[in-house]
Amino acid sequence: MYEERKSSVVPGVVLWTRRQGAPLGAHVRVLPDACMDLMWTGGRLLVAGPDTTAHVTAVRAGEEYAAVRFPPGAAPSVLGVPARELRDLRVPLAESWPQRRERELAERVAESADRTAEREAMAAAYGPSTRDRDTAAVLAGARRGLAVRGIAGEIHISERQLHRRCVDAFGYRASFAVLRRLRRG
């Protein structure tokens, strides 16, 4: 069963859980959404980078996930790693964060008896001020339906610079398809 809701602590963050009651050999298909997730499963914290294609994961009955989905462009500031380095990957958070910080969050999550509290604890690592001005401008332009050239012009940078900044923030170059994904976010 899959459930999601908006965080009551951090605007723009979505909290989700998945508990698999699936038979042996079941798979879950995750479509690209320009977001990155911080997931708690099997006693560890994992980061799901931005996907360029559908990601298919084998699941086991009884497997449980509690996760935070960061809005497009937000996770790189939280993790301290450009999105391009995590594109199409699922990696332990310990590979991105200092060991002490990752361990403290993992312990906090592990000690929580309430799945909602677990996810809110993970979301608390994020603050709305972590998005830089250009990332916010790209998202605003995409939501208004602007093309790459229009967004670059609004923030007074070249299209090439915009592409580089988008790769770091979202994991993708700015393009029509990416802007459509961001528009949905």
- Residues 18-40 pLDDT 10s: 887 766 667 888 888 888 999 98
Same domain, 85 and 22: yes
Q: Read off the DSSP letter of residue 97.
A: S
- pLDDT tens digits for range 41-56: 888 899 999 998 898 8
For the chain, how are helix, strand and coil distributed in percent, rounded to 5? 40, 25, 35
Same domain, 66 and 32: yes
Domain encompassing residue 145: 132-184
> Could you tell me the pTM of the whole model?
0.81
Same domain, 83 and 120: yes
Lowest mean pLDDT among 29-38, 119-128, 146-155, 165-174: 119-128
Same domain, 101 and 150: no
At residue 124 the predicted structure's pLDDT band, cuts being 50, 70 and 90, is: low
Residue 82 has pLDDT above 70, yes or no: yes
Find the DSSP H helices in the chain: 75-79, 99-111, 115-123, 133-143, 148-154, 159-170, 176-184
- How many structural domains comprise the chain? 2
Strand, helix or coil for residue 58: strand
Q: 111, 127, 143 — which closes off a domain?
A: 127
Same domain, 49 and 90: yes
Same domain, 118 and 28: yes
Share of the chain above pLDDT 70, in %: 82
In this structure, what token pair is assigned to residue 5? 């809701």
**C-alpha dist (Å) from residue 169 to 23, 25, 126, 134, 141:** 37, 35, 15, 10, 15
Same domain, 11 and 61: yes
Residue 97 has pLDDT above 70, yes or no: yes
102-119 mean pLDDT: 75
Residue 134 has pLDDT above 50, yes or no: yes
Same domain, 138 and 95: no
* φ/ψ (deg, to 5) at 22: -70, 150
